[in-house]
Amino acid sequence: MATPRAVSPAVGDSARAAVGVSAGLAAVYLLIAAFQAALLPGHQAVWVSGIALLTVAVLLVVAVILARGIRRGHRQEVRHADLLGIAPVVNVVTLLLATQGAVQVAEFTLTIVALAAGVRSTVLATLMTGTLVACWSATLVLWPTADGTPGEQAPAVVVALVVGMIVHALRRRREALLNRVVVELDDRTRAAERTAAALAEAEADVRVLLDSSPVGITVTDAEGRFLSVNPAFCALVGRPADSVLGSTSTGFTDAADRDLVVTLDWVRGSSGGVGRMEKRYRRPDGELRWAQITATELPGSDRRVVAYVHDVTDRRAAEQALHESRADLAAIAGAMRRVRAGDDVRSTIVAATRAIAQADTVSLFEPPLDAPDPDSLVLGTSSHPHLRGTTVPLGTVSATTEVYRTGRPLFLADPAEHPLVDNALLALSGARSVMWQPITQRGVTRGVLGVSWSERVDSVTDHRAAAVAMLADEAAVALENEDLLAQLRASATTDALTGVGNRRAWDAALAGLAASAARDGRPLTVALLDLDHFKRFNDTFGHPAGDDLLRRFAGRALGLLRPGDVLARWGGEEFAVALAGTTPAEARVVLERLRGAVPDGQTCSVGMAAWHAGDRPGDVLGRADAALYRAKAGGRDRLETADPAVLPAG
């Protein structure tokens, strides 16, 4: 069943007026029925009064139908109600016929005006009014003796018709105007509803965008109090929205940045009205988060500020790591430059490691330099002076030896209870956390860097551990180069066959001893030793045997000399000896022991000379050489002196 069309406001207004008119006419006809019953004689009174009462009933039915149509919104019922206007027409026509035209002019004209006012349709109103006028005119023709003459009644009827036309026209005009107003209001209402729906949809979209945005978005008042925050901002600061709204960011900003607040004055004072800053937020668990904030005044708002808050913690950490990496590389490069410039390799490495690791103590453990098969590690260089000289046997179980054997680094945040840690050494160093870094070259560990902190360190950052490892690699190369240089320096001043000093070492040593003797006035004796018949020994036993004889003699001679004495291979089978602080008489005793140290029953000849004030090294050496010549010329296997007067007879 189709749904009836709703009654328009104009039609409904007219229908309400028709209800009022119908009810009013019913009341009037009720009074007319009473008067007619009282005034008309006999059956006319009954007939006319009955018709009047029937009209009252019809008019009341019309009023009820109109009211029902208005209440239910049935446009068709309201429209069909115009047809019920026929009832007054029928009533008047019946009266005219019943009374043979004796209807009162007032009742007739009232009906005309009522029809014009009550019937909405112009066509129906015209037909009904025309019917009344036609019937009235007919009664005047049929019953000329009726009440009044046409000349008397015509003006009243004409006035009623004119008034009815005016009333009907005004009603139609009013309905048209009201319809236009209602249509316009209806259009505006629908437009407003569409606008409201669009705004609600846009607001919902904005809310979805805010809630789903990965960037924190806030709205604050002029003083920086939060009015709105999205989930991304709440996640950044680690707090729910209800604990943030109504407050400023001071409560969860890091102490160093608490003067950085997003306010309207700050935004307006920024370049272009756009404020930018970076600040740190402190989460409830203590975690620090960096935020980049871009803020501007919200257009059309009452002194409000909108801010976009980006979490830049990872970027800041990367920048910090890059800065520290550059600083570490600069420290490593600086250390290597100092090493190349001649600074001590070990001290430079220890100092650079301490700076990079931000440690309190750094120590370098190495096997002894002269031990081809070491059984211990020696702490030779350390930033802690009391630790120098500490020896760690390789046979013991310790963190240092473990790292040395495996070549793998080790970090202990709490080393005190670890089985590999020597608590005595730990207490001596005052360390709370320790790291051991091997120094490895071509797969071979040649040392261990011990790094310690006096305060507990939870972990060593990746870049710092990598920097220490990089420095250890550079240290391995530098230490190897240092050892090679030491070997080169030693080979430049050491005789390769016997291991004692060569001619260059002798010249430097004699010059130094002569300068000391001149400065201190202490005695100095110089001697030259020559193995007798060495060429014949070589020819008899071969050159390897001769080389072995030289090596063994040099070893025995070194064992007979003091640490301050000098022994050098002068050339071939000749050796030079310098005895500092020794008089010729004392020197003769020492030189005689050296003559007896020649292996395999071989002998040697010796020439000695005492250093005199003003002598140059070549002077005293020349006198010793002359004395050696005399010893060989005198039969060999003897000692001759360049200054026989200072020696007792021997």
CA 532 to chain centre: 86
Higher pLDDT, 414 or 100: 414
Residue 193's pLDDT is what?
85
* Pairing status of strand 524-531 against strand 566-571: unpaired
8 A C-beta contact, residue 249 and residue 225: no
Residue 97 — pLDDT band, cuts 50, 70, 90? low
What the block records as the tokens of 177 is 């105007």
Of the candidates 292, 294, 295, 293, the residue with the CA atom closest to the CA atom of residue 315:
292
What the block records as the tokens of 599 is 């292996």
8 A C-beta contact, residue 115 and residue 86: no
Rounded CA gap, 69 and 350, in Å?
A: 105
Residues above pLDDT 90, as percent of the chain: 27
Rounded CA gap, 479 and 347, in Å?
A: 11
Catalytic residue among 223, 573, 574, 592: 573
What digits encode the pLDDT tens for the residues 222-281? Answer: 999 999 999 999 999 999 999 999 999 999 999 999 888 999 899 889 988 999 999 999
What digits encode the pLDDT tens for the residues 17-30? Answer: 556 656 666 676 67
Burial class (CB in 10 A: 0-12, 13-18, 19+), 272: exposed
pLDDT value at 546 more than 90 = yes
The residue behind tokens 């846009």 is 202
Higher pLDDT, 591 or 302: 591
8 A C-beta contact, residue 177 and residue 149: no
What domains, with CATH codes, occur in the chain? Answer: 9-184 (no CATH), 216-311 (3.30.450.20), 321-491 (3.30.450.40), 494-646 (3.30.70.270)
Residue 444's pLDDT is what?
82
Catalytic-residue membership of 574: no
Residue 398's pLDDT is what?
86
Average pLDDT over residues 579-587: 93
Rounded CA gap, 428 and 422, in Å?
A: 10
pLDDT value at 5 more than 50 = no
pLDDT value at 432 more than 70 = yes
Question: What's the predicted TM-score (pTM) here?
Answer: 0.46
Higher pLDDT, 145 or 189: 189
